[in-house]
Amino acid sequence: MKQYDIDDTHCPIARAVAIIADRWTILIMRELRMGNDRFDGLQAQTGMSSNLLNRRLKAMEENGLIERRVYHERPKRYAYCITDKTGELDGLMLTLRLWGMRHCGLDPKAESAVTMKHRRTGAIIDADWQPQQEDLPFSFSQVESRINPGWAAERAARAEAFAREKRIQVAKRAPARRVRAPGSKSKLTRSKRRGLTAH
């Protein structure tokens, strides 16, 4: 079946899906909500290649989902932040989280990746939690969050593996240092000696 351009459809679901319903876009939004707002941090926690991450960030910026801000001039480095437009998707992100807790093979008795407590009611946001009428539309600003030890360890291991791989790549790009055998002299040195001898 031939894919159609989203501009050719009147369906708002099709148009929304074309912008946000992508695994990587959702994960980037998750990370930015957690305060992980720099390129290397995003790459480490999502597992994306640098080219793919660059493309997704550019597309998200073009669609008004994120903004980038310079935090280092030379070389130029950017931090990314969500826009109010993305903030409107907090309810959707919460629904994905609760659906994943209920239907994606997690032990319902085990500690969740993040403990979220609703500020107004003090309720823990578990798999069956639903916002009350006065809390609609839902926003993550309504909750206090704490990353639990299991997921914190998973994220730390992922960050360390990323840093280790980056060190390996940098080492591979570095020019090889020529090791001179003891007692040997360069051709330039011998040439200079011959020139001095001639004079």
Q: pLDDT tens digit string along 105-117? A: 999 899 999 999 9
69 and 114 co-located in one domain? no
What is the distance between the alpha carbons of residues 116 and 134, in angstroms, rounded to a whole number? 18
Mean pLDDT in the chain? Answer: 89
- Give residue-wise pLDDT tens across range 182-198: 665 555 444 444 454 44
Please report the pLDDT score of residue 173 as a whole number: 85
Q: How many domains would you assign to the chain?
A: 2
Report whether the peptide linkage leading into residue 149 is cis, meaning its omega lies within 30 degrees of zero: no
Read off the pTM. Answer: 0.83
pLDDT at 178: 61
pLDDT at 138 > cutoff 90: yes
Does 48 share its domain with 93?
no
Model pLDDT, residue 185: 56
Domain assignment present for residue 179? The answer is no
* Res 3: pLDDT: 59
pLDDT at position 5 is 74
Residue 138 is part of which domain span?
Answer: 89-172
75 and 93 part of one domain: no
Higher pLDDT, 2 or 131: 131
Model confidence at 199, pLDDT cuts 50, 70, 90, reads very low
Higher local confidence (pLDDT), 13 or 6: 13
